[in-house]
Amino acid sequence: MRHLALSLSLVAVLFVAGCGQADSPANTAPVAPEVGYITVKAQPFTLVNELPGRTTPFQVAEVRPQVTGILVERLFQEGEAVEVGQPLYQIDDRLYKAALASARAELASARAALETARLKAERYERLINTGAISQQDLDQARAQLNESLAMVDAGQAAVQTANINLDYTTIKAPIAGRIGRSSVTAGALVTANQASALVTIRQLDPIYVDVTQSYNALQELRSAMSSGQLQTVGEDQAAVTLVYQGGTTYEQSGTLQFSEFAVDETTGSVTLRALFPNPDDALLPGMFVRARLPQAEREEAILVPQKGISREPDGQATALVISEEGTVEKRDVFAERVVENQWLIREGLADGDRLIVEGLQKIRVGIPVRAVDVSEPDVNTSPALVAEGQG
């Protein structure tokens, strides 16, 4: 009986304790999750398109002979820099020297005949008044004088032609630049105006860079500028820069020369040409590069970290911001393009908005949050940023 009484007392105590715990209210309310945010700031922005391109020589000269003959000597080292007029090849010139001597002899003969005709014509001019000769004789003397003058002119032209041909036996560089590999050696027979070039010279300083831009992208840019969303870049900001395939920036800046007035039918793109200094021959013809072309400016651009923008299943870009009441608000945004590690936002966010960038996994729309400013000092503080556009 004693043990039964103790057991009943213990059960009663546990029952009373359980009832007291069940009747007590909840100890605490749910704690609002903590999120990190940055304050969106509008700032000046330079729109720069980064377009693919290839380097092209400023000038190219394919050297061909202008007279026929046997090459007796090559006068340059392959790959060296040559100047305008520098001798490159020597053709056997003996026949051309002989032709020049023959032309000079014919010219001397023509001049002697001219002197005879001139004296005869002068004498007949004096005798015509005495009646010693007829008018027909005088006319023939005058005609012979004119014919002799023409023969002298022809002789002078023949001498000049022979001189030119003799000069062509020394093949000279038509432009300054870097000379390539010779396709012939001494002893080869070359012919005037042959199809194959003896060697090619390329002028590399300065050098062209031909880039292509999508015509649709160009039209979108023009539409944005005409509507006032973008302003034309000033002349002092129109320098073009180059980036190598490895990401290194070329130290020299270039200038845009012209844009094609036709669209490529196969690619739908327009070709642009920029000119770059190349004093050290760092750029060689045929290199693949990317050119950055400043095209327009936006006075109040919104740039936010990529981690603050997400995508819906349908592709719609969204952002979560903190409302004035301290709750989570969802915004549909138009993310225009990537700028390094940021998005350029055209619509959906404004200056002063608090964009949530941390703690996104533990919140949902409408709930209150505890906001912590995590703005980075290097984000959204630059007076002018560059966007990497697509060609």
Summarised one tens digit per residue, pLDDT across range 54-112 is 999 999 999 999 999 999 999 999 999 999 999 999 999 999 999 999 999 999 999 99
Instruction: Answer yes or no: CATH 2.40.30.170 is held by domain 37-56+205-386.
Output: yes
CB 389 within 8 A of CB 47: yes
Instruction: Please tell me the pTM assigned to this model.
Output: 0.66
Angle ∠(362,363,364) on CA atoms, nearest 5: 140
Closest CA to 67 of 104, 102, 93, 100: 93
CB 272 within 8 A of CB 256: yes
The CATH architecture annotation of domain 94-168 reads: Orthogonal Bundle (1.10)
**What's the whole-number mean pLDDT along residues 333-342?**
85
Cα atoms found within 13 Å of the Cα of residue 365, Cβ hemisphere only? 7
Separation between Cα atoms, residue 298 and residue 47, nearest integer Å: 7
CATH of domain 65-92+170-196: 2.40.50.100
Kindly tell me if the per-residue pLDDT of 215 is higher than 90: no
Distances (CA, A) of 96 to 161, 190, 200: 10, 15, 26
Q: Where are the domains of the chain?
A: 37-56+205-386, 65-92+170-196, 94-168
Listed in order, strand segments (DSSP E) in 147-287 are: 170-172, 177-179, 189-190, 199-214, 231-232, 241-243, 255-259, 269-276
Confidence band, pLDDT 50/70/90 cuts, at residue 228:
low
> Which residues are CB-contacts of 3 (< 8 A; sequence separation ≥ 6)?
none
65-92+170-196 and 94-168 share one fold: no
* 3-class state of residue 4 by DSSP: helix
Phi and psi of 114, rounded to 5°? -65, -40
Q: Residue 77: what residue type?
A: Q
